[in-house]
Structure 1
Amino acid sequence: MQKHYDLTVIGAGSGGLVAATSAKRAGLSVALLEKNKIGGECLHTGCVPSKAFINSAKVYAAARKTNLLGLPSFVEKDKFDFSKVMEHVDSVVQHIYKDENPEVFRKQGIDVYVDKSGAQFINNKEIKIGDEIISAEHTIICTGSSPKRIDAVDIQFLDNENFWEIRKQPKNILFVGGGIISAEIGQSLKHFGSKVTIIDHNQRILKVVDNEITDVLTKMFVEDGIELIPNAEVESFKKEDDLIIAQIKTTDNKIITREFDSVFLTAGRIPNTNGMNLENAGVQYSSRGIIANEFFQTTAENIYACGDVTSKFKFTHAASYQADICLHNIINGNSKTMDEKIVPWAIFTDPEIAHTGLSENDARKIYPKVNVFKVDATIDRFITEGKTTGFLKVIFDDKNNVVGADAIGANAGEWIQIITVAIKNNIPIEAMADTIFIYPTFAEIVKKSFTRFQRSLKQK
């Protein structure tokens, strides 16, 4: 007998797990469908392994600079074992996975279906998964995205999925694309002693980041020995013995020939729409993903979509938030949307980069007047930690309401979220300036930005 559910959730990544567990708590019968492992890209090949890897690299780099703290050296370079780092990364993933495996969710009353063929729509209510056919009143699609790949017969390119399988350290690696993954993993590999080159067709790396922040990070990368090749693209790759020969073309049509032992491709991501037979359900999609309205409802009224498969905000926390919106609208009718002007994100380089709200450029397009106030990372906690590189830039509108912020500095991803709360809840600068912050903390930089900006207004 065919099983029928109130809700099916396709994809058991960040968005899917939130949708399924929240729906179950709301009293709905739920089926969770997945073609790979529960936990999705974030747990197995994205956020979790990368942050564990980055942390190991930061600790290793810091241990080589203990003399700056009046301490002896604790690092013996000849005893460094890259494979041990990767084993540690895998252990972190497995530690989290034990709380996110299929049995955990089955015990919560969620029916979990895992089959490598994935979910396939028969119509807008019936779905085939493996040898079974189930039906549901509503469906939320949370299938995520995958890295773009280049087909090559004899070259094994690295990407954010297969990188975690290697155990031998790349000695000389090329990153194609100057985005977030290249910055995070590239810097970490440099900390471990790899020779790192990053090529990008843009004039600068991290084009989504505030120019002043990119300038700071670029300067640090160059000083650390990371080679940056802007305004260039790879013409061809060729395998010779154990090396990969890259022909790199610059904007002045100059060809540079370079040898690498590894090439890491970060040339964007593709929404996971193939194989689901979306046409059978009346769900329209394009190369950019599933088409959905402001309520995350697709062209099939009973089917919603969230996360990388439909959104321009390709962050785990955005997918989770959107999943809650989908469920709210399914239960209560279309009434909740996402304020795209308040989506915080961070890049976990050293120092961290963080953003929330509007950028300075976007704010200037909206408001007749914009005030930008900047505080350098030279307040006491940054000094005691020896981490004074960076700043916080806060953007205020023509009425002096905070509308955005950009930052680079130690733990920036943690303390910029205070400003997210201020923007979301329209907290006036007077209230922020009049709030007690713990001394000495990195978060004090937020307090300083509001008190000093308030003081500057009084002096005008």
Structure 2
Amino acid sequence: MNNTKNETTSDTRVTSSGQLPKEPLVEELDLLILGGGTGSTIAAWTFAAEGKRVAAIDRKYIGGSCPNIACLPSKNIIHSAKVASYFRHSNEFGITHNGFTIDMSGVRERKRKMVRSLNEMYLSNYEKTGAEFIPGTGRFIAPKTVEVVLADGTIRRLRGMNVIVSTGTRAKLEAIPGLAEAQPLTHIEALELDQIPEHLVVVGSGYVGVEFAQAMRRFGSRVTVIGRRPRLMPQEDEDVSEALRGLLEDEGIDVLLNTRIKRVSGISGDSVRVLIEQNGTEKILDASHLLVAAGRTPNTEGLGLELAGVELTDRGYIKVNERLQTTAPGVWAIGEVAGSPQFTHISVDDFRVVHNNLNGVHHVTTGRQVPYCLFTDPELARIGLNENEARAQGTAYRLFKVPMESNLRARTLSETRGFVKALVEADSDRILGFTAFGVGAAEIMSSVQIAMNAGVLYTALRDAILTHPTLVEGLIPLFSSTPSIPRMESEVTTSQALTATR
């Protein structure tokens, strides 16, 4: 992430002798990287290891947001919350205890320890590969030329034969009266809490909001989730959305959907009041903390992109083609700022696309698979089409679906909540998509994804000898079940038309 608000330059400073200082020399590089996300970090290491002169600039974070303030720290906190849940339900496992307390400063320190170790590892990789990491605020001052202001005010100017922009996104604050003044938490501040919120109101019903809601509830907070749309995770099928809602409500979380926030007052962390409207009825929520997790906005302001010839889309993201080239020759963009799906693994694949293209191998982003996982407990994971998408495309499919209780390994863990389902092409045995809501969902999904990548038919998974008892073994009862063949909208329309003419 690279927000550049302070644009310090050297050509307006006057020395003690009354003379203007000399302009900084422009350092020439093979590759200059603005923004230190995961994809651009791996790019720095890889190109440097290949003998290129490489420098990566980031305002604050070594390795970008993923190892510092996003993916890995949040999963660290979520796992601590799962341990708390195990304590709370230990009697189910024949283990008794005399109560327990949660020290959020200890939870935070565990997370910070992991972040420190990752920073050390990343810096070691920079040193080993010969890439340079420059902590500073960077902006374009000319095509392929960036000026960097270091923490001590020193200015460096660098020009790359090629430039990669990877400045990411940040949490979006909607224009709700009083919201900004309430100083709400984003995921960054939520990961630094050293106390358990008495009552946390979560604004947003997507990935970040749902994950944090469950974790904070397990630490002991009262939690309310506010979603603008009628369903949680509305991009998912209805059975998935309802299963997630049931999970949160069973854990004591208030889920308010189809709800609009009209006004906020107070200060998050002290006392905050939220006026909401749901189905035409107004209601006031009093809380101690407010967490905003309602979308992202790209970090493109103040980068001087116009001076580099880099254009933006109408949504403010950097405009790229299928090879991730921007509108400026020799300038590339990867990750979220380029409008790519907002996952670290996609940022890494974006690096592969750019790496190949710079090495003469044609590589595009078109048609690639985008797996993802929601790290609730249990997890939600998906690859390929879901039912809503298949219907929208008019793609005929057979649906295989079984409950997680059919997975014998899940029974040994006493974690049988959820289900797995797969879409198989109606006139072949090709797997179109897979969704799992259950324990170990991400690992199960990855096995199916590998099969899909290799063009393996569902019957090969059905007939495979998989280790017993494992979670992946649950694919055998899934693909051995009797599939249903949902009727496509076009089929229903045709059937109705035929009936009407009889």
Shorter-chain TM-score category? over 0.9
Whether the 8 Å CA contact 1:342–1:358 is kept in 2: the answer is no
Q: Partners in 2 of 1:271 and 1:126 — Cα distance?
A: 21
Are residue 438 (structure 1) and residue 447 (structure 2) matched?
no
Deviates more, 1:356-365 or 1:340-349: 356-365
Q: Deviations over 1:342-378 (max 9, x none)?
A: 1100000011000101222222344542111112112
Q: Show the 5 A alignment for 1:284-303.
A: 284-286=311-313, 287-303=315-331
Q: 1:96 to 1:67 in 2, by over 3 A?
A: same
Aligned partner of 1:449: which letter? L
Whether the 8 Å CA contact 1:374–1:392 is kept in 2: the answer is yes
Aligned partner of 1:170: which letter? P
What displacement does 1:338 show? 2.4
Q: Show the 5 A alignment for 1:187-226.
A: 187-226=214-253
In the alignment of these two chains, the number of paired residues is 449
Q: Deviations over 1:36-64 (max 9, x none)?
A: 12121111111111101100111111111
Determine which of 109, 119, 122 is the counterpart of 1:97: 119
Q: Deviations over 1:95-114 (max 9, x none)?
A: 2221113x540342112221
Are residue 448 (structure 1) and residue 471 (structure 2) matched?
no
Unaligned runs of 5+ in 2: 1-24, 150-154, 486-502
Q: Partners in 2 of 1:413 and 1:421 — Cα distance?
A: 12
Unaligned runs of 5+ in 1: none
User: What is the SS of the residue equivalent to 1:41?
Assistant: coil
Q: Which residue of 2 aligns with 1:247?
A: 275
User: What is the SS of the residue equivalent to 1:221?
Assistant: helix
Q: Structure 1 length normalisation: TM-score?
A: 0.93
Q: 1:366 to 1:425 in 2, by over 3 A?
A: farther
Q: Structure 2 length normalisation: TM-score?
A: 0.85
Whether the 8 Å CA contact 2:340–2:347 is kept in 1: the answer is no
Q: Partners in 1 of 2:216 and 2:159 — Cα distance?
A: 47
Determine which of 99, 108, 115 is the counterpart of 1:76: 99
Q: 1:66 to 1:231 in 2, by over 3 A?
A: same
What displacement does 1:34 show? 1.2
Aligned partner of 1:177: which letter? G
Q: Show the 5 A alignment for 1:129-144.
A: 129-130=148-149, 131-144=155-168
Are residue 55 (structure 1) and residue 55 (structure 2) matched?
no
Whether the 8 Å CA contact 1:124–1:302 is kept in 2: the answer is no
Q: Show the 5 A alignment for 1:24-423.
A: 24-73=48-97, 76-77=99-100, 79-101=101-123, 104-115=125-136, 118-130=137-149, 131-149=155-173, 155-239=182-266, 242-252=270-280, 254-286=281-313, 287-332=315-360, 335-340=362-367, 342-366=369-393, 368-378=395-405, 379-398=407-426, 399-423=428-452
What displacement does 1:172 show? 0.4
Q: Deviations over 1:159-193 (max 9, x none)?
A: 11122232121010100111111111110111111
Q: Partners in 2 of 1:209 and 1:31 — Cα distance?
A: 40
Whether the 8 Å CA contact 1:210–1:406 is kept in 2: the answer is no
Whether the 8 Å CA contact 2:398–2:484 is kept in 1: the answer is no
Are residue 6 (structure 1) and residue 30 (structure 2) matched?
yes
Deviates more, 1:240-249 or 1:227-236: 240-249
Identity fraction in percent: 28
Aligned partner of 2:186: which letter? D
Whether the 8 Å CA contact 1:38–1:100 is kept in 2: the answer is yes
User: What is the SS of the residue equivalent to 2:121?
Assistant: coil
Whether the 8 Å CA contact 1:119–1:127 is kept in 2: the answer is yes
User: What is the SS of the residue equivalent to 1:346?
Assistant: strand
Whether the 8 Å CA contact 1:22–1:324 is kept in 2: the answer is no
